[in-house]
Amino acid sequence: MSKLVSCEFEVFGKVQGVYFRKYTEKQAIILGLRGWCMNTENNSVKGRLEGDKERIMLMREWLKTTGSPKSNVERACFTECRPIREFTVRKFSIKR
């Protein structure tokens, strides 16, 4: 089994009210990642990714360049990928 890592993210731009979290959840599931995402008070979306580093890097690129069809990502910030011993959540979910 490949080593697990985690990474936090925050995406800025037109990312609320455009199904960004739903599309993020779908893409994370496609890539086999776990974690969560949620809207923030400053109109960004933040979250956590857990899984294989290569897949997390693919998800990071998706968050920066793709998002949901009606979103307009201005920038995305990420923490360094850090090793974790085990998953902290069972799936990828949207926090409310």
* Neighbour-count burial of 83, counting CB atoms closer than 10 A to its CB (0-12 exposed, 13-18 middle, 19+ buried): exposed
Residues 1-39: b if buried by 16+ CB within 10 A, e if exposed: eeebbbbebbbbbebeebbbbebbbebbeebebbbbbeb
Catalytic residues: 21, 39
